[in-house]
A = this chain, B = another copy of it.
Amino acid sequence: MNIGEIARRAGVSRSTVSYALSGKRSISPATRARIQAVIDELDYQPSAAARALSSGQTQTLGLVFPPAGSHYTDMQLDFIGSLVEAAAGFGYDVLLAAAVGDGRQGLRRLVAERRVDGAVLMEIRLDDARVDYLAAAGFPFVTIGRVGEPEHTRWVDLDYTALVRSCVSHLAQLGHRRVALVNRSERLFRAGYESAHRSLTGFERACAEYGVVGTTHLCGDDAAAGEDVIGRILVADPATTALVTVNEAALGGLYRGLAAHGRRIPQDFSVTGIAAGRWAAAVTPQLTAADVPAVEMGRVAVELLLELLATPDAPPRHVLLTPPVSLRASAGPAPASDD
């Protein structure tokens, strides 16, 4: 079932069918109706491949999927879900590329084989080979997260620095003077993940600003690592009374570790952080945290990308989000000091 068959049955030429479908030239109402009738009868849909070949547009966006072996978080799932939905709203599909190695392999498939019109990158590093590759190739892309020098790219990101600062500020107001940061894993930090680095920066600055003594800790992305890091925190500074976590996958472990060390939340120890709302609500007591607006971020990413496709020469636009800290139950006044 192709456009030629439709044309034949409607008694017109192939180009007329094409114009009737695209609306790029005027077609008489009578002809248009006849063509539409044939299309409806045969349930015709134009071939995506043929259309892509001749028009040069695939109506598909690429998403470079987080590297293999990393522990997926809910945040990522929400990104994907909202990307797919937002893209569908504009008539685009989303193609997933497995990121192997530094992620350029998967990109090659997307870009060099021209499978997609534009790409969305996530899990961004401060110095990201994929971003450099796409920028050099002149291929349209946006990032969820931003590189170290983000002025010339388009992105949507959380302001980790400010969010961690808000958490520290909140804890300081509650009287806490010794606070720990639970960061992402050593592997991700070493790889230069921007969220891990910006969180660290924000934490150190905020501690200085609020006169708080801070210790920082890398932590694997699972419950066992979270449980483990509590011990390390209390060794590093036994007087620690609060923590800020940007590691949502470790959250359950943090709670368990605190309980194991006899710290009740929030009476003995306060917990705050940045997390998907689902995780924040799953733990008891519920987590006082900045909720990651993952759905909004996915939607914005698609909008930025389509904007870029429509007007390639427009200056880069960025969206930096700073969701408020939702006050739940895991942070309270600092316990009376023993000093």
Give the B-binding residues of A (Cβ under 8 A): 43, 45-50, 52-53, 58, 60, 65-66, 68, 71-72, 74, 76-78, 80-81, 84-85, 87-88, 93-98, 100, 106, 108-109, 112-115, 222-224, 249, 251-253, 255-256, 259, 278, 281-284, 286
- Tell me, in angstroms, the Cα distance from A286 to B223 when the chains sit together: 10
- Tell me, in angstroms, the Cα distance from A96 to B108 when the chains sit together: 19
CB pair A252 B93 closer than 8 Å: no
CB pair B96 A80 closer than 8 Å: yes
CB pair B85 A78 closer than 8 Å: no
CB pair A50 B53 closer than 8 Å: yes
CB pair A249 B278 closer than 8 Å: yes
CB pair B283 A114 closer than 8 Å: no
Q: Number of copies of this chain in the oligomer?
A: 2
CB pair B93 A93 closer than 8 Å: no
> What are 20 residue pairs bridging A and B, where the CB atoms are less than 8 Å apart in the complex?
A47-B113, A48-B52, A49-B114, A50-B53, A53-B53, A65-B84, A68-B81, A77-B77, A80-B96, A84-B96, A84-B97, A88-B97, A88-B106, A93-B95, A94-B95, A94-B96, A223-B278, A252-B283, A252-B284, A259-B284
Q: Which of A66, A68, A113, A224 has the most CB of B within 10 A?
A: A113
Q: A224's closest neighbor in chain B, by CB?
A: B281
| Chain A contact residues: helix, strand, loop or mixed | helix
Q: A223's closest neighbor in chain B, by CB?
A: B281
Q: A89's closest neighbor in chain B, by CB?
A: B98
A48-B255 contact, Cβ under 8 Å, with A77-B77, A85-B98, A96-B84: no
Determine how close the nearest CB of chain B comes to the CB of A119; give it in whole angstroms. Answer: 13
Q: A65's closest neighbor in chain B, by CB?
A: B84
Contacts of A93 in B (CB 8 A): 95-97, 109, 115
- Tell me, in angstroms, the Cα distance from A259 to B46 when the chains sit together: 58
Contacts of A45 in B (CB 8 A): 108, 112-113
- Tell me, in angstroms, the Cα distance from A135 to B277 when the chains sit together: 39
